[in-house]
Amino acid sequence: MALPSAGGTHHPGQVGPNEVTGDAIRDAQILKVSKLISITEADDLSARFPEEILSRVTIELQDGSRFTSPVTQAKGDPATAMSQAEFRAKFDLLAGVNLPQARRDAICTAIDSLSEAESCSELFELLMH
pLDDT at 2: 53
Rounded-to-integer distance, Cα 104 and Cα 88, Å: 10
3-state secondary structure of 59: strand
Nearest to 2 by CA among 67, 57, 77, 70: 57
Kindly give the residue spans of alpha helices, DSSP state H, lying in the chain. 2-10, 17-20, 28-34, 43-46, 84-95, 101-112, 121-128
CB 9 within 8 A of CB 20: no
Contacts of 84 (CB under 8 A, 6+ apart): none
Rounded-to-integer distance, Cα 40 and Cα 70, Å: 16
Tens-of-pLDDT digits for all 129 residues of the chain?
A: 555 555 555 556 667 777 777 777 778 887 888 888 888 999 999 999 988 889 999 989 999 999 999 999 888 887 888 999 999 999 998 899 889 999 999 999 999 999 999 999 999 999 998
Rounded-to-integer distance, Cα 16 and Cα 37, Å: 18
Domain ranges of the chain: 2-75, 82-128
